[in-house]
Structure 1
Amino acid sequence: MAGTIVLATALDQPGITESDRLYADALERRGWRVVAAPWNGPCEAFAGVDAVVLRSTWGYYRAPKAFRDRTELMAAATRLFNPIGLVRWNLRKDYVGKLAVAGIRVPQTHIVACAAAAIDKVLADAGWDQAVVKPASGASGYSVELVKRATLARQVAGLSDEARASGVVVQEFLPEIADGELSLVYFDGAFSHAIRKRPPPGEFRSNSCYGPTRNAETPAREVTEKGAACLRALPETPLYARVDGVVRDGGLIVIEVEVLEPALFLEFDPPSAERFAEATVRRL
């Protein structure tokens, strides 16, 4: 037995997901023992192991300080993937502005207080009638809304406590989202596979809770290279990453980069689990 790798999950869903089971099996075929442990469970589960891989740590955004504190402890005790520097970088969506400064094509994005007046000023200054608003610390489509100036006060009043605590991202609405959002998956900076998530009619969000259709996709090389260039703008190369975006005029517009607990859709390309496992073992 080579050693033990913990896949960090969450108390409300402590087991390994169906997709991550493909990854765990690939690691086990390489001689590693793989176990699951909730990030918000007992600390002892992460002691004396060879590595912790953050996988289905869903709901971390409801307790961002606790999550950051726990991942700091993990990083001090063992090898953490993704590394703690990337965890810190990805916890708040102000990283989108950093990507823009690095020359990555992103939607126009502003972070402001969760207040109707602040959001309305962004819309007025940009000349927008509508925009996507999401918590500055959040995931999984939680409390993400397409707000309109005519109904702004009511919509902002309905945003989550997490949005009020963290502030909100006000982002340009991209009409290309109707044709689906591309999710590009990379291991050690190299493109692995992709899927397209199409929202149902009348919806703009493509997160799983909104019932999108999902299909394997073979993007153009120019698109996957833009995704790889985006990852080169990060503080360090992630073991795993998902770059979400849309294509306009043949080029990728990056909406989000996920290096904490992204769904990697390994089931859409089973050999990808082997690539993920190989990339992991190379780092151990």
Structure 2
Amino acid sequence: MKIALLTCEKLPNLNPEDQKIIPALAKYNIEASAVIWSDKTINWTDFDYLIFRNTWDYFEKETEFKIWLDQIEKLGIKTLNPIEVIKHNIHKFYLREMEQQGITILPTVFMDKTDTLNLTEVLPSHWKKAVIKPAFSAGSYLTEVFEVSQIQAITKKYKSIAAEKELLLQEFMPEIQTLGETSFIFFNKKFSHAVNKKPVDGDFRVQSLFGGKYTLVQPSAELIEKAQKVVNTFQEKLLYARVDGILIDEELFLMEIECIEPDLYFNLSENSLNRFVTAIVELIA
């Protein structure tokens, strides 16, 4: 059994935590290796499975990534998570479908591509502050938070982006700066662990790249069940899913469900790597 752990040019050998997957799988006689998804020299049919791990440049190479996904699909190569899940999850308009299925999401305006961007027209009147970002993005790429008083400047700044990309406009929740964001991690649709991520003072971005502080937490059974409900909207099997949300008064406001290449915080939760590898073995058996 040969498995490619997909990564990007910036991390040709995977990040340090994901590198540990390789010897862990070897114990099951599974040969795993780090492979750059955009490497044109790779013969993908050499692999039995592809696992998306550190493909952290896909949103910067949108067209190339979509073409590559189509290529893998045509070749019939099995992937974890499945290609149809990846294709759907890379575009954050899936949140609209989640809401229609009864999931509580952050208050969001979904904006199609337009040559005549007018944020004043679409911004709900009771919002005081908002976040704008492309629907095809990750890691705070082209993401800005702004006060209503700045709406003209932001409209001007995003005018050319709106002509090329669908956008999300979300109400800014001040709790992100105090309570932070909580990630619920699931392997094979079973809850594994949860991590709270708080931004540095004065920022809203929780990524460690921007100084965010990560802490292992134990959510209540009720909150885990709410995150499980999000995961259960998927009919397909999932190797992993990371449910990111803000917890306000014991309500989970979904920000996104990451099924592409999320950090799974193996370093923060004991035995989580083993649980992940067990899930791989269960799904390819």
Note whether the superposition's TM-score is higher than 0.5.
yes
AA of the residue aligned to 2:119: I
Calculate percent identity across the aligned residue pairs. Answer: 29
- Residue deviations 1:43-87, cap 9 Å, x none? 524222111001100111122222122123223342111101101
- Residues 1:180 and 2:177 aligned together: no
Query: 1 CA distance for matches of 2:114 and 2:195?
Result: 32
Query: 1 CA distance for matches of 2:60 and 2:254?
Result: 25
Cα pair distance change 1:36/1:190, threshold 3 Å? same
Cα pair distance change 1:49/1:225, threshold 3 Å? same
TM-score (norm. length: structure 2)? 0.92
In the TM superposition, what is the alpha-carbon distance from 1:115 to its structure 2 partner?
7.2
Aligned to 2:144: 145
Residues 115-264 of structure 1 mapped to structure 2, 5 A cutoff: 117-123=117-123, 125-159=124-158, 164-178=163-177, 179-264=179-264
Question: Which structure features the higher share of helix residues?
Answer: 1
Aligned to 2:31: 33
- Residues 1:44 and 2:55 aligned together: no
AA of the residue aligned to 1:85: E
In the TM superposition, what is the alpha-carbon distance from 1:141 to its structure 2 partner?
1.1
In the TM superposition, what is the alpha-carbon distance from 1:162 to its structure 2 partner?
5.9
- Say which of 66, 69, 82 aligns to 1:71: 69
SS of alignment partner, residue 86 of structure 1: helix
Query: 2 CA distance for matches of 1:116 and 1:148?
Result: 21
CA contact (8 A) 1:239 1:280 kept: yes
CA contact (8 A) 1:116 1:152 kept: no
In the TM superposition, what is the alpha-carbon distance from 1:163 to its structure 2 partner?
5.8
SS of alignment partner, residue 264 of structure 1: coil
Query: 2 CA distance for matches of 1:115 and 1:200?
Result: 36
Query: 1 CA distance for matches of 2:170 and 2:17?
Result: 30
Query: 1 CA distance for matches of 2:146 and 2:104?
Result: 23
Aligned to 1:84: 83
- Residue deviations 1:182-208, cap 9 Å, x none? 011101111001111100000111122
AA of the residue aligned to 1:148: E
Cα pair distance change 1:23/1:177, threshold 3 Å? same
Query: 1 CA distance for matches of 2:156 and 2:210?
Result: 21
- Residue deviations 1:115-145, cap 9 Å, x none? 785322222x342122111111000111111
In the TM superposition, what is the alpha-carbon distance from 1:254 to its structure 2 partner?
0.8
Query: 2 CA distance for matches of 1:160 and 1:270?
Result: 46
AA of the residue aligned to 2:180: G
Query: 2 CA distance for matches of 1:261 and 1:189?
Result: 16
Segment drifting more, 270-279 vs 16-25 = 16-25
Runs (5+) with no aligned partner, structure 1? none
AA of the residue aligned to 1:195: V
CA contact (8 A) 2:131 2:144 kept: yes
AA of the residue aligned to 1:193: H
TM-score (norm. length: structure 1)? 0.92
SS of alignment partner, residue 20 of structure 2: helix
AA of the residue aligned to 1:58: W
Segment drifting more, 5-14 vs 94-103 = 5-14
Cα pair distance change 1:52/1:43, threshold 3 Å? farther
RMSD of aligned Cα (Å): 1.9
Runs (5+) with no aligned partner, structure 2? none
